[in-house]
Structure 1
Amino acid sequence: MTHNEFLSFETGQASDVGLRREVNEDGFLSSPESGLWLVADGMGGHAAGDFASQTIVRELVSIGRPGSSDDLRARFLERLSRANLVILEHANLLGRGTIGSTVVSLLVHGRDYACIWSGDSRAYLFRAGRLTQVTRDHTEVRALLDAGTITEEEARHWPRKNVITRAIGVTDTPECDTVEGQAREGDTFLLCSDGLTEHLEDHEIADLLGEALPPQAICDALVRETLARGARDNVTVVVMRCGPAPEGDLDRVYAGEMDELQ
């Protein structure tokens, strides 16, 4: 259990190559001390997709302890840009076409959170018994849905369902979207690669997140169920639950607020 000045964090993580792939091209990072969690899903085959996802993880490991929400985001984006350039250079060296990786991240400082993502790896928030998809897939099928070109029913059977429209390492600078909010005690965040959502529906994910289980047990159960359903792709999940900050930390926060008022 790790905490900052306002919340404590309990984290679980699990990743599996699945039943049809030989290499796990997914990567993940859980750094509660920094207030950062992420999942990356590489594309481009062995020696390419796994390189891309692990490059993102390697760059972000050094993020350190930020001084503010803005500082955390600046550190994150600077390192993500660095990873983007490394992946581009590696693709040029290989000469086999585009390689890259999706990324979905959760940044928390104090009670402020931000989800920053590129691609179809997802972030969910489970709050007060309700599951919400925080991110919006950067995929061809999502774009067609948003444009009203196809229906939800057609989208479920769309033949190019996994074609993504954004990823890290495919453009000169990262193309990401951001959603911000305020975290609360009891909130549970789930980050996952599409290897999970290919096999589990949102209501099934919600059922597991709603059980009184530690985050690690939830991660293990999600991966186990994905494997039981055939696991056509790599599958990676990170679950983070927000708890109350220890009283000593709250005392320091209140003292700081009183100092500012005086």
Structure 2
Amino acid sequence: MTENMTYRFVAQTHVGLKRKVNEDAVLAMPEHDIWLVSDGMGGHQAGDYASALIVDTVATLPTGLDPAAKMHGLRDRIQNAHRAIQAEAEARGGGTIGATVVALILANGHFLGVWAGDSRIYRLRKGEIEMLTSDHSAVADYVLAGKMSWDEADQHPQSNAITRAVGVGEELELDKVRGGVEPGDRFLICSDGLTKYATFPMLQDVLSTAPLETAGDRLLQIALSGGGADNISHIIIDVI
């Protein structure tokens, strides 16, 4: 648990309206203070295998670890999944298999986010939303250069072209972000099946007005009403 804090959460995943297979996977481990979303790479073979393998590998973390050991254990297991997915791809004839990953750890009044790909972490604090991660995607450089917003990038024709994923490439580089946690913070972890439909103002409105019991359903409805062309996954964590 975070120091002198408790939390509540809701986790959801949905196949959407167009896909036959849900290639997303979500993992909630409140006993470890860890939450994770993985999005199998659409258009490639066995994206559902890759995301499920990441979740299953991280789920083997032992309980009782201190925050530093937990962080290293999480990263090690994601790297193990990276190598296992590569081996599976080779066994299947060398095709590309991969998945994004984004994970959040809460510990001692702080958070740590770890990710590869374009699944995201947001934080709502005092009614204002902030995106804590930065996509590993073909259009991210335009955003970082100030040429477009993340909402505009989500509508770009190359928005699905990610440049980093678990199982893809020889070495997997995981980015991380750290910060403090305050009572009242609300974190959102999600796949791009939500963010391609839910703009920053939409997310801020839902997360700042809806109780936890209905916030997840409202986000899901935004994605489905927008077209639901991809799998949709999100976890909302409230710090109390």
Q: TM-score scaled to structure 1, two decimals?
A: 0.85
Tell me whether 1:240 sits opposite 2:237 in the alignment: yes
From 226, 233, 238, the equivalent of 1:229 is 226
Q: TM-score scaled to structure 2, two decimals?
A: 0.93
Where do residues 2-21 of structure 1 align in structure 2 (5 Å cutoff)? Answer: 3-21=1-19
Alpha-carbon displacement from aligned partner over 1:18-42 (angstroms, at most 9, x marks no partner)? 1110000000101111010010000
From 50, 62, 74, the equivalent of 1:52 is 50
Taking the aligned partners of 1:83 and 1:10, their CA distance within structure 2 comes to: 28
Answer whether contact 1:105 1:116 (CA < 8 A) is retained: yes
> Deviation at 1:44?
5.2
Secondary structure of the residue aligned to 1:101 is coil
Taking the aligned partners of 1:59 and 1:144, their CA distance within structure 2 comes to: 34
Q: Which has the larger radius of gyration?
A: 1
Answer whether contact 1:190 1:238 (CA < 8 A) is retained: yes
Answer whether contact 1:12 1:217 (CA < 8 A) is retained: no
% identical equivalent positions: 37
Amino acid at match of 2:228: A
From 167, 172, 178, the equivalent of 2:176 is 178
Which sections of structure 1, spanning at least 5 residues, go unmatched? 244-262
Answer whether contact 2:2 2:106 (CA < 8 A) is retained: no
Taking the aligned partners of 1:239 and 1:222, their CA distance within structure 2 comes to: 10
Answer whether contact 1:126 1:209 (CA < 8 A) is retained: yes
Amino acid at match of 1:217: T
Answer whether contact 2:120 2:132 (CA < 8 A) is retained: yes
> Deviation at 1:45?
4.8
Alpha-carbon displacement from aligned partner over 1:232-258 (angstroms, at most 9, x marks no partner)? 100001000111xxxxxxxxxxxxxxx
Aligned residue in 2 for 1:126 = 124
Taking the aligned partners of 1:167 and 1:67, their CA distance within structure 2 comes to: 27
Taking the aligned partners of 1:223 and 1:55, their CA distance within structure 2 comes to: 24
Answer whether contact 1:69 1:112 (CA < 8 A) is retained: no
Between 1:171-180 and 1:116-125, the stretch displaced more is 171-180
Where do residues 34-53 of structure 1 align in structure 2 (5 Å cutoff)? Answer: 34-43=32-41, 45=43, 48-53=46-51
Q: 1:109 to 1:39 in 2, by over 3 A?
A: same
Q: Which has the higher helix share?
A: 1
Amino acid at match of 1:200: A
Count of equivalent residues: 239
Which sections of structure 2, spanning at least 5 residues, go unmatched? none
